[in-house]
Amino acid sequence: MEALPNQAYERELHERLLDGDLVASQELATAFLPAVVERLKRRFPRLEDESFIFDAAADAILSYAERPSQYDPQGLRLLSYLVMSADGDLKNTLQRHQRRTHREVPMRDVELLLDARNSEGEEVYSEEHAAAPEVKEVGHRIREEIPDSVDQQLVDLMMQGERRTEAFARVLGITDMEVLQQRKLVKQHKDRLKKRLMRLGMRLHEPS
């Protein structure tokens, strides 16, 4: 692993982020993202899906880059702060994912669930519901509501449970951007599409 920046550089970088220096965000990701990912891997050696680790590390760095005032350079060193932030987010994400896995019945291989309620207004998810005609019409309804071909490809990835930022970035044609900007734009597109799906009475349950 490459040597980490010294404390003087960390403080300089922090001041530049406070001043809104956009180049500083890219330098931050270049200097610290690999190190945060590596330390999370050591803390979670049995976690098979490393996309959880990368997401937590990227989110911690993005959160700091967008709100640098949350960090006190007089306290922890920057790497320790970023790892602590990512560690907490990762633990929360894994707990949510575990709860969701236990309570949801997969609908074939697609995690796009239509609202279904019984006579008492309770939600019902079952294999019979998965085979219902309205589920078979999901693709047609999505294409009516979301006619743009790029958006359709993004929805397809979301339905497949794809988590990797780079997969969405390839569809959006933004792989030449730095990683934090890619992640920010991908999240914006996914949030927008989730809202459009909700207007169809659909809830897309991705791994959190």
pLDDT tens readout for residues 25-73 = 889 999 999 999 999 999 999 888 888 898 899 989 999 998 999 999 9
Q: Please say whether the beta carbons of 84 and 34 come within 8 A.
A: no
pTM here is 0.60
User: Could you confirm whether domain 7-102 is CATH 2.60.40?
Assistant: no
Tokens of 127: 């294999």
**pLDDT bracket for residue 84 (50, 70, 90):** very high
Give the helix/strand (H/E) hosting 113. strand 112-114
- Paired with 202 in beta bridges are 114
Q: Given this model, what pLDDT does residue 166 score?
A: 86
The residue ranges of every structural domain in the chain are 7-102, 112-204
